[in-house]
Structure 1
Amino acid sequence: MPLVVNRFQAFSPEHFVLIGLFLLVFAALVAIGRRHGDNERFRRAFAIAIPCFTVPMQVLQLLPGDFDLGTSLPLQYCDLAWGIAAYALWTRRPWAVALTFFWGLTLTTQGIITPALAEQFPDPRYVMFFGMHFCTVWAAGYLAATGSTPTWRLYRFTVAVTAAWAAFVMVFNEIADTNYGYLNGKPNSASALDLLPSWPTYVVVEIVIIAAVWALMTWPFARTTNW
Protein backbone atom coordinates (compact mmCIF):
# COMPACT_ATOMS: atom_id res chain seq x y z
CA MET A 1 0.00 0.00 0.00
CA PRO A 2 1.56 3.36 -0.97
CA LEU A 3 2.43 5.76 1.78
CA VAL A 4 0.35 8.91 2.03
CA VAL A 5 2.54 12.00 2.26
CA ASN A 6 0.91 14.71 4.31
CA ARG A 7 1.61 18.18 2.99
CA PHE A 8 0.24 21.56 3.88
CA GLN A 9 -2.51 22.49 1.45
CA ALA A 10 -3.05 26.11 0.48
CA PHE A 11 -6.67 27.32 0.65
CA SER A 12 -7.63 24.38 2.85
CA PRO A 13 -9.79 24.85 5.98
CA GLU A 14 -6.58 24.88 8.03
CA HIS A 15 -5.16 27.65 5.84
CA PHE A 16 -8.30 29.77 6.14
CA VAL A 17 -8.25 29.39 9.94
CA LEU A 18 -4.66 30.63 9.96
CA ILE A 19 -5.56 33.59 7.75
CA GLY A 20 -8.50 34.39 10.02
CA LEU A 21 -6.23 34.35 13.09
CA PHE A 22 -3.70 36.51 11.29
CA LEU A 23 -6.35 39.09 10.33
CA LEU A 24 -7.82 39.23 13.83
CA VAL A 25 -4.46 40.00 15.42
CA PHE A 26 -3.59 42.44 12.63
CA ALA A 27 -6.85 44.34 13.17
CA ALA A 28 -6.28 44.38 16.94
CA LEU A 29 -2.76 45.79 16.57
CA VAL A 30 -3.92 48.46 14.13
CA ALA A 31 -6.69 49.43 16.56
CA ILE A 32 -4.21 49.63 19.44
CA GLY A 33 -1.86 51.76 17.36
CA ARG A 34 -4.60 54.16 16.33
CA ARG A 35 -6.09 54.49 19.80
CA HIS A 36 -2.94 54.75 21.89
CA GLY A 37 -0.37 56.05 19.40
CA ASP A 38 3.28 55.18 19.86
CA ASN A 39 3.51 53.30 23.15
CA GLU A 40 7.23 52.66 23.57
CA ARG A 41 6.81 49.97 26.21
CA PHE A 42 4.36 47.98 24.09
CA ARG A 43 6.37 48.54 20.90
CA ARG A 44 9.62 47.33 22.44
CA ALA A 45 7.96 44.34 24.06
CA PHE A 46 6.69 43.41 20.60
CA ALA A 47 10.21 43.91 19.23
CA ILE A 48 11.69 41.52 21.81
CA ALA A 49 8.99 38.90 21.23
CA ILE A 50 9.84 38.53 17.53
CA PRO A 51 13.45 37.27 17.86
CA CYS A 52 12.53 35.26 20.97
CA PHE A 53 10.27 33.26 18.67
CA THR A 54 12.19 33.29 15.39
CA VAL A 55 15.84 32.89 16.41
CA PRO A 56 15.45 29.42 18.00
CA MET A 57 13.49 28.28 14.95
CA GLN A 58 16.13 29.68 12.61
CA VAL A 59 18.95 28.01 14.55
CA LEU A 60 17.10 24.70 14.46
CA GLN A 61 17.15 24.77 10.66
CA LEU A 62 20.94 25.18 10.70
CA LEU A 63 21.56 22.06 12.78
CA PRO A 64 23.08 19.10 10.88
CA GLY A 65 19.96 16.97 11.15
CA ASP A 66 17.73 19.62 9.60
CA PHE A 67 20.07 21.63 7.38
CA ASP A 68 19.19 21.96 3.71
CA LEU A 69 21.31 24.23 1.52
CA GLY A 70 18.28 25.16 -0.54
CA THR A 71 16.03 26.25 2.33
CA SER A 72 17.91 26.69 5.62
CA LEU A 73 20.07 29.75 4.94
CA PRO A 74 18.49 33.08 5.96
CA LEU A 75 18.50 34.46 2.42
CA GLN A 76 14.78 34.79 1.75
CA TYR A 77 13.48 38.33 2.09
CA CYS A 78 11.17 37.10 4.84
CA ASP A 79 14.21 35.88 6.80
CA LEU A 80 15.58 39.41 6.67
CA ALA A 81 12.20 41.07 7.15
CA TRP A 82 11.49 39.74 10.63
CA GLY A 83 14.86 41.00 11.92
CA ILE A 84 14.33 44.39 10.33
CA ALA A 85 10.79 44.50 11.73
CA ALA A 86 12.09 43.85 15.25
CA TYR A 87 14.70 46.59 14.82
CA ALA A 88 12.07 48.97 13.45
CA LEU A 89 9.83 48.35 16.44
CA TRP A 90 12.67 48.91 18.89
CA THR A 91 14.14 52.05 17.28
CA ARG A 92 11.58 53.46 14.83
CA ARG A 93 14.50 54.17 12.51
CA PRO A 94 12.95 55.42 9.25
CA TRP A 95 14.89 53.06 6.95
CA ALA A 96 13.90 50.01 9.01
CA VAL A 97 10.27 51.12 9.27
CA ALA A 98 10.20 51.69 5.50
CA LEU A 99 11.48 48.20 4.71
CA THR A 100 9.02 46.70 7.18
CA PHE A 101 6.14 48.73 5.71
CA PHE A 102 6.83 47.90 2.06
CA TRP A 103 8.07 44.32 2.44
CA GLY A 104 5.57 43.43 5.13
CA LEU A 105 2.42 44.74 3.48
CA THR A 106 3.18 43.31 0.03
CA LEU A 107 5.85 40.62 -0.32
CA THR A 108 5.29 38.97 3.05
CA THR A 109 1.52 38.89 2.67
CA GLN A 110 2.03 37.01 -0.60
CA GLY A 111 3.75 34.28 1.40
CA ILE A 112 0.76 34.06 3.73
CA ILE A 113 -1.80 33.88 0.93
CA THR A 114 0.10 31.40 -1.27
CA PRO A 115 2.58 29.66 1.05
CA ALA A 116 5.31 27.55 -0.53
CA LEU A 117 5.32 25.07 2.33
CA ALA A 118 5.34 21.29 2.47
CA GLU A 119 5.45 20.70 6.23
CA GLN A 120 2.41 20.46 8.48
CA PHE A 121 1.84 21.50 12.09
CA PRO A 122 3.63 21.00 14.47
CA ASP A 123 6.76 20.74 12.31
CA PRO A 124 9.18 23.56 13.31
CA ARG A 125 9.43 24.74 9.69
CA TYR A 126 5.64 25.16 9.62
CA VAL A 127 5.67 27.15 12.86
CA MET A 128 8.64 29.22 11.70
CA PHE A 129 7.12 29.97 8.30
CA PHE A 130 3.81 31.32 9.51
CA GLY A 131 5.22 32.87 12.68
CA MET A 132 7.82 35.03 10.96
CA HIS A 133 5.43 36.04 8.18
CA PHE A 134 2.69 36.96 10.64
CA CYS A 135 5.03 38.92 12.92
CA THR A 136 6.46 40.97 10.06
CA VAL A 137 3.06 42.02 8.75
CA TRP A 138 1.72 42.66 12.24
CA ALA A 139 4.70 44.93 12.91
CA ALA A 140 4.13 46.79 9.64
CA GLY A 141 0.46 47.33 10.45
CA TYR A 142 1.15 48.51 13.98
CA LEU A 143 3.88 50.94 12.93
CA ALA A 144 1.71 52.39 10.17
CA ALA A 145 -1.18 52.80 12.62
CA THR A 146 1.03 54.78 14.99
CA GLY A 147 1.87 57.27 12.25
CA SER A 148 4.94 55.79 10.57
CA THR A 149 4.18 56.23 6.88
CA PRO A 150 6.55 56.45 3.88
CA THR A 151 8.23 59.23 1.92
CA TRP A 152 9.54 59.21 -1.64
CA ARG A 153 13.10 59.15 -0.35
CA LEU A 154 12.38 56.02 1.67
CA TYR A 155 10.52 54.54 -1.30
CA ARG A 156 13.66 54.92 -3.41
CA PHE A 157 15.77 53.48 -0.60
CA THR A 158 13.54 50.41 -0.34
CA VAL A 159 13.59 49.82 -4.09
CA ALA A 160 17.41 50.07 -4.10
CA VAL A 161 17.83 47.70 -1.14
CA THR A 162 15.40 45.20 -2.65
CA ALA A 163 17.20 45.31 -6.01
CA ALA A 164 20.56 44.77 -4.28
CA TRP A 165 19.16 41.82 -2.32
CA ALA A 166 17.71 40.30 -5.50
CA ALA A 167 20.98 40.69 -7.41
CA PHE A 168 23.00 39.07 -4.62
CA VAL A 169 20.57 36.19 -4.17
CA MET A 170 20.34 35.49 -7.91
CA VAL A 171 24.14 35.18 -8.08
CA PHE A 172 24.17 32.93 -5.01
CA ASN A 173 21.41 30.78 -6.49
CA GLU A 174 23.36 30.36 -9.70
CA ILE A 175 26.52 29.33 -7.85
CA ALA A 176 24.88 27.09 -5.25
CA ASP A 177 22.11 25.69 -7.48
CA THR A 178 19.41 26.96 -5.13
CA ASN A 179 16.31 29.09 -5.64
CA TYR A 180 16.03 31.53 -2.76
CA GLY A 181 13.45 34.23 -3.35
CA TYR A 182 12.19 32.25 -6.36
CA LEU A 183 14.42 34.50 -8.42
CA ASN A 184 15.84 31.66 -10.51
CA GLY A 185 12.61 29.76 -11.05
CA LYS A 186 8.97 29.74 -10.01
CA PRO A 187 7.89 27.73 -6.94
CA ASN A 188 6.31 24.33 -7.43
CA SER A 189 3.22 25.42 -5.50
CA ALA A 190 0.68 27.90 -6.81
CA SER A 191 1.62 31.56 -6.47
CA ALA A 192 1.07 34.95 -8.07
CA LEU A 193 4.16 34.27 -10.18
CA ASP A 194 2.09 31.78 -12.19
CA LEU A 195 0.33 34.79 -13.73
CA LEU A 196 3.61 36.16 -15.08
CA PRO A 197 5.77 35.09 -18.06
CA SER A 198 8.50 32.47 -17.78
CA TRP A 199 11.96 33.02 -16.25
CA PRO A 200 13.83 35.34 -16.47
CA THR A 201 11.16 37.68 -17.87
CA TYR A 202 8.92 37.27 -14.83
CA VAL A 203 11.66 38.66 -12.58
CA VAL A 204 11.73 41.93 -14.54
CA VAL A 205 7.92 42.11 -14.64
CA GLU A 206 7.75 41.39 -10.92
CA ILE A 207 10.18 44.21 -10.15
CA VAL A 208 8.15 46.68 -12.22
CA ILE A 209 4.87 45.65 -10.58
CA ILE A 210 6.30 45.82 -7.06
CA ALA A 211 7.87 49.23 -7.68
CA ALA A 212 4.55 50.52 -9.03
CA VAL A 213 2.57 49.15 -6.08
CA TRP A 214 5.02 50.66 -3.60
CA ALA A 215 4.74 54.00 -5.39
CA LEU A 216 0.96 53.87 -5.02
CA MET A 217 1.40 53.05 -1.33
CA THR A 218 3.71 56.04 -0.88
CA TRP A 219 1.71 58.64 -2.77
CA PRO A 220 -1.14 59.22 -0.24
CA PHE A 221 1.33 59.79 2.59
CA ALA A 222 4.12 61.67 0.81
CA ARG A 223 2.98 65.14 1.91
CA THR A 224 1.79 64.27 5.40
CA THR A 225 4.43 61.84 6.64
CA ASN A 226 6.21 62.29 9.97
CA TRP A 227 9.31 60.32 8.94
Structure 2
Amino acid sequence: MSWFGGSYGDYDFNMFSASHFTMLAILMMLVGCLYIFKERLKLFQLRKVEVGTAVFLLLLEAVYHVWMVVNENWQISHAIPLELCSISLFLAVILLISKKKIVYEILLFTGLLGASQALFTPYLNYDFPHFRFFHFFMTHLLIFCIPLYFTWVKGYRPSIYSIGKTMLFLNILMPFAMIVNWLTGGNYLYLSHKPESASLLDLLGPYPWYIISLELLAFSLSIMIWLLLRKREGNLPVEKPFRRRA
Protein backbone atom coordinates (compact mmCIF):
# COMPACT_ATOMS: atom_id res chain seq x y z
CA MET A 1 0.00 0.00 0.00
CA SER A 2 2.69 2.47 -1.02
CA TRP A 3 -0.06 4.82 -2.27
CA PHE A 4 -1.13 5.16 1.39
CA GLY A 5 2.35 5.47 2.85
CA GLY A 6 4.08 8.46 4.37
CA SER A 7 7.11 8.66 2.09
CA TYR A 8 6.62 10.77 -1.02
CA GLY A 9 9.84 9.85 -2.83
CA ASP A 10 7.90 8.00 -5.52
CA TYR A 11 5.02 10.49 -5.58
CA ASP A 12 6.74 13.88 -5.54
CA PHE A 13 4.21 16.49 -6.66
CA ASN A 14 5.21 19.22 -9.10
CA MET A 15 3.11 22.32 -9.61
CA PHE A 16 1.72 22.73 -13.14
CA SER A 17 2.54 19.14 -14.01
CA ALA A 18 0.22 16.97 -16.11
CA SER A 19 -1.63 15.74 -13.01
CA HIS A 20 -2.07 19.31 -11.74
CA PHE A 21 -3.40 20.59 -15.07
CA THR A 22 -5.76 17.59 -15.20
CA MET A 23 -7.30 18.56 -11.87
CA LEU A 24 -7.63 22.19 -12.95
CA ALA A 25 -9.38 20.99 -16.11
CA ILE A 26 -11.77 18.92 -13.97
CA LEU A 27 -12.46 22.04 -11.90
CA MET A 28 -13.34 24.05 -15.01
CA MET A 29 -15.55 21.22 -16.25
CA LEU A 30 -17.44 20.93 -12.95
CA VAL A 31 -18.00 24.68 -12.70
CA GLY A 32 -19.08 24.84 -16.36
CA CYS A 33 -21.53 21.95 -15.94
CA LEU A 34 -23.03 23.48 -12.80
CA TYR A 35 -23.66 26.73 -14.63
CA ILE A 36 -24.82 25.30 -17.97
CA PHE A 37 -27.16 22.68 -16.48
CA LYS A 38 -28.36 24.69 -13.47
CA GLU A 39 -31.94 24.89 -14.72
CA ARG A 40 -32.12 21.15 -15.35
CA LEU A 41 -30.63 20.37 -11.95
CA LYS A 42 -33.40 22.39 -10.32
CA LEU A 43 -35.90 19.81 -11.60
CA PHE A 44 -34.37 16.95 -9.59
CA GLN A 45 -34.72 16.07 -5.92
CA LEU A 46 -31.07 16.18 -4.88
CA ARG A 47 -31.42 15.95 -1.10
CA LYS A 48 -29.86 12.47 -0.94
CA VAL A 49 -26.97 13.67 -3.09
CA GLU A 50 -26.42 16.66 -0.78
CA VAL A 51 -26.40 14.54 2.39
CA GLY A 52 -24.28 11.88 0.68
CA THR A 53 -21.73 14.51 -0.33
CA ALA A 54 -21.59 15.77 3.26
CA VAL A 55 -21.00 12.24 4.57
CA PHE A 56 -18.38 11.64 1.88
CA LEU A 57 -16.47 14.79 2.89
CA LEU A 58 -16.51 13.75 6.55
CA LEU A 59 -15.34 10.22 5.75
CA LEU A 60 -12.59 11.47 3.46
CA GLU A 61 -11.36 13.86 6.15
CA ALA A 62 -11.52 11.08 8.76
CA VAL A 63 -9.42 8.79 6.55
CA TYR A 64 -6.92 11.63 6.11
CA HIS A 65 -6.49 11.84 9.89
CA VAL A 66 -6.12 8.05 10.06
CA TRP A 67 -3.44 8.33 7.36
CA MET A 68 -1.56 10.92 9.42
CA VAL A 69 -1.76 8.74 12.55
CA VAL A 70 -0.67 5.58 10.70
CA ASN A 71 2.31 7.39 9.19
CA GLU A 72 3.17 9.12 12.48
CA ASN A 73 2.50 12.52 10.94
CA TRP A 74 -0.38 13.68 13.15
CA GLN A 75 0.78 16.64 15.21
CA ILE A 76 -1.29 19.31 16.88
CA SER A 77 0.85 21.97 15.18
CA HIS A 78 -0.68 21.18 11.78
CA ALA A 79 -3.40 18.54 12.07
CA ILE A 80 -6.31 20.25 13.82
CA PRO A 81 -8.88 21.82 11.46
CA LEU A 82 -7.82 25.44 11.78
CA GLU A 83 -6.70 26.06 8.20
CA LEU A 84 -9.09 28.08 6.08
CA CYS A 85 -9.87 25.18 3.76
CA SER A 86 -10.37 22.78 6.68
CA ILE A 87 -12.83 25.23 8.20
CA SER A 88 -14.50 25.62 4.81
CA LEU A 89 -14.84 21.84 4.55
CA PHE A 90 -16.83 21.69 7.78
CA LEU A 91 -18.85 24.75 6.72
CA ALA A 92 -19.66 22.89 3.49
CA VAL A 93 -20.83 19.86 5.47
CA ILE A 94 -23.00 22.06 7.72
CA LEU A 95 -24.46 23.86 4.69
CA LEU A 96 -25.27 20.62 2.86
CA ILE A 97 -27.09 19.26 5.90
CA SER A 98 -28.69 22.38 7.38
CA LYS A 99 -29.04 24.63 4.28
CA LYS A 100 -28.56 27.67 6.54
CA LYS A 101 -28.17 30.94 4.63
CA ILE A 102 -25.59 32.39 7.04
CA VAL A 103 -23.34 29.34 6.52
CA TYR A 104 -23.64 29.83 2.75
CA GLU A 105 -22.73 33.51 3.08
CA ILE A 106 -19.44 32.70 4.81
CA LEU A 107 -18.59 29.59 2.76
CA LEU A 108 -19.12 31.43 -0.52
CA PHE A 109 -16.14 33.66 0.19
CA THR A 110 -13.91 31.38 2.28
CA GLY A 111 -14.52 28.46 -0.08
CA LEU A 112 -14.00 30.27 -3.37
CA LEU A 113 -11.01 32.30 -2.19
CA GLY A 114 -9.29 29.64 -0.10
CA ALA A 115 -9.88 26.66 -2.39
CA SER A 116 -8.90 28.58 -5.54
CA GLN A 117 -5.58 29.54 -3.94
CA ALA A 118 -5.02 25.92 -2.91
CA LEU A 119 -6.00 24.49 -6.29
CA PHE A 120 -3.88 26.83 -8.39
CA THR A 121 -0.83 26.83 -6.07
CA PRO A 122 -1.08 23.54 -4.13
CA TYR A 123 0.94 23.10 -0.95
CA LEU A 124 1.28 19.37 -1.59
CA ASN A 125 4.03 16.75 -1.57
CA TYR A 126 2.22 13.74 -2.99
CA ASP A 127 1.39 13.30 -6.68
CA PHE A 128 -1.05 10.94 -8.46
CA PRO A 129 -2.02 8.22 -7.55
CA HIS A 130 -1.20 8.70 -3.85
CA PHE A 131 -4.10 8.92 -1.38
CA ARG A 132 -3.05 12.40 -0.28
CA PHE A 133 -3.27 13.64 -3.87
CA PHE A 134 -6.87 12.45 -4.14
CA HIS A 135 -7.76 13.77 -0.69
CA PHE A 136 -6.32 17.20 -1.41
CA PHE A 137 -7.95 17.75 -4.78
CA MET A 138 -11.30 16.07 -4.08
CA THR A 139 -11.88 18.10 -0.92
CA HIS A 140 -10.83 21.39 -2.50
CA LEU A 141 -12.86 20.78 -5.66
CA LEU A 142 -15.96 20.18 -3.54
CA ILE A 143 -15.26 23.17 -1.29
CA PHE A 144 -15.10 25.33 -4.43
CA CYS A 145 -18.15 23.85 -6.17
CA ILE A 146 -20.61 23.49 -3.26
CA PRO A 147 -21.23 27.25 -2.75
CA LEU A 148 -21.62 27.64 -6.53
CA TYR A 149 -24.18 24.81 -6.49
CA PHE A 150 -26.14 26.59 -3.78
CA THR A 151 -25.92 29.82 -5.77
CA TRP A 152 -26.90 28.60 -9.23
CA VAL A 153 -29.10 25.58 -8.42
CA LYS A 154 -30.57 26.30 -4.98
CA GLY A 155 -31.06 30.03 -5.60
CA TYR A 156 -28.98 31.39 -2.71
CA ARG A 157 -27.44 34.82 -3.29
CA PRO A 158 -24.99 36.90 -1.25
CA SER A 159 -25.78 40.41 -0.07
CA ILE A 160 -23.33 43.19 0.64
CA TYR A 161 -23.75 42.30 4.32
CA SER A 162 -22.45 38.79 3.58
CA ILE A 163 -18.99 40.29 3.09
CA GLY A 164 -19.16 41.93 6.51
CA LYS A 165 -20.22 38.64 8.13
CA THR A 166 -17.32 36.83 6.49
CA MET A 167 -14.73 39.44 7.50
CA LEU A 168 -16.09 39.40 11.06
CA PHE A 169 -15.88 35.60 11.12
CA LEU A 170 -12.27 35.65 9.91
CA ASN A 171 -11.21 38.38 12.32
CA ILE A 172 -12.73 36.50 15.26
CA LEU A 173 -10.91 33.38 14.10
CA MET A 174 -7.50 35.03 13.63
CA PRO A 175 -6.64 35.76 17.31
CA PHE A 176 -7.61 32.20 18.25
CA ALA A 177 -5.38 30.80 15.47
CA MET A 178 -2.52 33.06 16.60
CA ILE A 179 -2.78 31.69 20.15
CA VAL A 180 -2.77 28.10 18.87
CA ASN A 181 0.24 28.88 16.67
CA TRP A 182 2.08 30.35 19.66
CA LEU A 183 1.29 27.34 21.86
CA THR A 184 2.05 24.65 19.27
CA GLY A 185 4.62 26.25 16.96
CA GLY A 186 2.13 25.89 14.11
CA ASN A 187 1.33 28.12 11.17
CA TYR A 188 -2.45 27.99 10.96
CA LEU A 189 -3.93 30.50 8.51
CA TYR A 190 -0.29 31.32 7.60
CA LEU A 191 -0.20 33.79 10.48
CA SER A 192 3.30 32.78 11.58
CA HIS A 193 5.08 32.75 8.22
CA LYS A 194 4.45 32.26 4.51
CA PRO A 195 4.11 28.74 3.07
CA GLU A 196 7.35 27.18 1.85
CA SER A 197 6.00 26.64 -1.66
CA ALA A 198 5.15 29.43 -4.09
CA SER A 199 1.87 31.17 -3.32
CA LEU A 200 -0.02 34.42 -3.66
CA LEU A 201 1.43 35.52 -0.31
CA ASP A 202 4.81 35.98 -1.97
CA LEU A 203 3.38 39.10 -3.67
CA LEU A 204 2.00 40.67 -0.49
CA GLY A 205 5.15 41.81 1.30
CA PRO A 206 7.20 40.51 4.25
CA TYR A 207 5.94 39.22 7.59
CA PRO A 208 3.86 40.52 9.33
CA TRP A 209 2.71 43.09 6.77
CA TYR A 210 1.46 40.46 4.34
CA ILE A 211 -1.28 39.62 6.88
CA ILE A 212 -2.74 43.13 6.53
CA SER A 213 -2.28 42.98 2.74
CA LEU A 214 -4.00 39.58 2.68
CA GLU A 215 -6.98 40.90 4.60
CA LEU A 216 -7.33 43.86 2.24
CA LEU A 217 -7.01 41.52 -0.74
CA ALA A 218 -9.63 39.16 0.71
CA PHE A 219 -12.01 42.08 1.17
CA SER A 220 -11.42 43.31 -2.39
CA LEU A 221 -11.89 39.85 -3.92
CA SER A 222 -15.02 39.34 -1.83
CA ILE A 223 -16.45 42.50 -3.34
CA MET A 224 -15.75 41.07 -6.80
CA ILE A 225 -17.45 37.77 -5.93
CA TRP A 226 -20.47 39.65 -4.58
CA LEU A 227 -20.69 41.74 -7.75
CA LEU A 228 -20.59 38.59 -9.90
CA LEU A 229 -23.05 36.48 -7.89
CA ARG A 230 -25.39 38.97 -6.23
CA LYS A 231 -29.08 38.92 -6.98
CA ARG A 232 -29.86 41.21 -9.88
CA GLU A 233 -33.18 42.94 -10.27
CA GLY A 234 -34.99 42.02 -13.45
CA ASN A 235 -36.25 44.57 -15.88
CA LEU A 236 -39.05 46.38 -14.10
CA PRO A 237 -42.22 47.00 -16.09
CA VAL A 238 -42.54 50.50 -17.41
CA GLU A 239 -45.24 52.32 -15.53
CA LYS A 240 -47.83 53.85 -17.79
CA PRO A 241 -48.47 57.54 -17.28
CA PHE A 242 -51.58 58.34 -15.29
CA ARG A 243 -54.35 59.93 -17.31
CA ARG A 244 -57.13 61.83 -15.70
CA ARG A 245 -60.59 60.78 -16.78
CA ALA A 246 -62.61 63.41 -18.57
TM-score range for the pair, normalised by the shorter chain length: 0.7 to 0.9
Shift of 1:11: 0.9
Structure 2 match to 1:123: 130
Shift of 1:53: 2.7
Shift of 1:15: 0.7
Give the TM-score normalised by structure 2: 0.80
Letter in 1 for 2:147: A
Shift of 1:210: 0.5
Letter in 1 for 2:30: V
Give the TM-score normalised by structure 1: 0.86
1:33-182 alignment to 2 at 5 Å?
A: 33-37=38-42, 39-41=45-47, 42-62=49-69, 65-146=72-153, 147-182=155-190
> Which ranges in structure 1 are unaligned for 5 or more consecutive residues?
none
Stretch moving more, 204-213 or 124-133: 124-133
Shift of 1:103: 1.2
Distance 1:12 1:220, change over 3 A: closer
SS at 1:70's partner residue?
Answer: coil
SS at 1:102's partner residue?
Answer: helix
> Which of 181, 188, 200 matches 2:208?
200
Contact 1:88 1:97 in 2 (8 A): yes
Contact 1:150 1:222 in 2 (8 A): yes
Stretch moving more, 185-194 or 172-181: 172-181
Structure 2 match to 1:209: 217
Shift of 1:76: 0.7
Whole-Å Cα distance in 2 between the matches of residues 93 and 58 of structure 1? 27
* RMSD of aligned Cα (Å): 2.4
Whole-Å Cα distance in 1 between the matches of residues 177 and 132 of structure 2? 21
Whole-Å Cα distance in 1 between the matches of residues 34 and 102 of structure 2? 21
Higher share of residues assigned helix: 1
Distance 1:62 1:77, change over 3 A: farther
Letter in 2 for 1:216: M
Distance 1:58 1:27, change over 3 A: farther
Shift of 1:100: 1.8
> Which ranges in structure 2 are unaligned for 5 or more consecutive residues?
1-7, 234-246
> Which of 14, 24, 28 matches 1:23?
28
Distance 1:16 1:32, change over 3 A: same
Letter in 2 for 1:143: F
Shift of 1:31: 3.3
Structure 1 match to 2:3: none
Contact 1:87 1:96 in 2 (8 A): yes
